[in-house]
Amino acid sequence: MTAIHIDTLQNWKTKKNKFAAITAYDFSFSKLFANQGIPVILVGDSLGMTIQGHNSTIPVTIQNIEYHTKAVRKGAPNVFLISDLPFMSYYQVNQALKNTAKIIQSGANMIKIEGGKHLINIIKELSNRSILVCGHIGLTPQYINYLNGYKVQGKTEKSAKKIIEDALLLEDAGIKMLVLECIPSVLAKIITEKLSIPVIGIGAGRYTDGQILVMQDILGITEGKKLKFVKNFLSQSGSIQNAIQTYIDEVKKGIFPNQKYSF
């Protein structure tokens, strides 16, 4: 795989070429995913639940993200690598700059932060220093106590307008990519069309520029209640490699997610 850059993803949006992304946390899986052609990997704070066994992402530390970012970068040297800034690691500008430096030095191309317009100053400060920032709105797991659980966001006219407003404000502040999580597909379509930057969806329907899923969900090894937007690609694929290839192909062709996996 030739190296994937932000300009690559921007060009795909312009040409309406959909792309797949996946979470990964270690050398072996990131290497396998890269070998199958996954262009974007996220070292998500979802590792708090999938790797560490917590019931939320909140306990994850910046040291955890550093460790897993280094491992994933070794396995996938040419993918576009995004890493989360975990809970309360970017609430002040100086803190955000310090922690972002650690993550970029660990191998990430871009950092991802959760939230809306209250992050504008931090995004501007990072962008002014040529740091690539990915926004994340809709369902934001770091705010799970405030949101009263993992629920679909943007179902009312008022909340939908706020999500659209936040998306536009974040782009204006300097983000170069946006993740939309657990919102109605019609709302995601509006935002994707309004923004000039790539928009990646998870539980946000088929109209976004890209899709991302947690690797454990794709492979059907997540315990507990199955989320509506999750598809087990391994069950009929015969191997992990085939499952990832099927996922990539279905995203590119607009087959996944269909209405069954959308809100």
Question: CATH code at 63?
Answer: 3.20.20.60
Q: Is residue 15 part of a domain?
A: yes
| Cα dihedral sign, 152-43-47-129 | negative
Residue 107 has pLDDT above 80, yes or no: yes
Structure tokens at 138: 């809709």
Domain extent, residue 189, equals: 6-261
Residue 227 has pLDDT above 90, yes or no: no
| CA-based radius of gyration for the chain | 17
Q: Is residue 100 part of a domain?
A: yes
What type of residue is 249? D
Number of domains forming the structure of the chain: 1
List the one residue out of 5, 69, 71, 72 whose CA is nearest residue 33. Answer: 72
In the annotation, is 181 catalytic?
A: yes
Q: Is residue 1 part of a domain?
A: no
Q: Is residue 244 part of a domain?
A: yes
Rounded to two decimals, the pTM is 0.97
Q: Which residues contact 253 (CB under 8 A, 6 or more apart)?
A: 18
pLDDT digits (tens, 9 = 90+) for 147-197: 776 789 999 999 999 999 999 999 999 999 999 999 999 999 999 999 999
Q: Is residue 74 part of a domain?
A: yes
Q: Which residues contact 58 (CB under 8 A, 6 or more apart)?
A: 48, 87, 142, 144, 145
pLDDT digits (tens, 9 = 90+) for 16-27: 999 999 999 999
Q: Of the listed 125, 171, 181, 250, which one is catalytic?
A: 181
d(CA 175, CA 197): 8
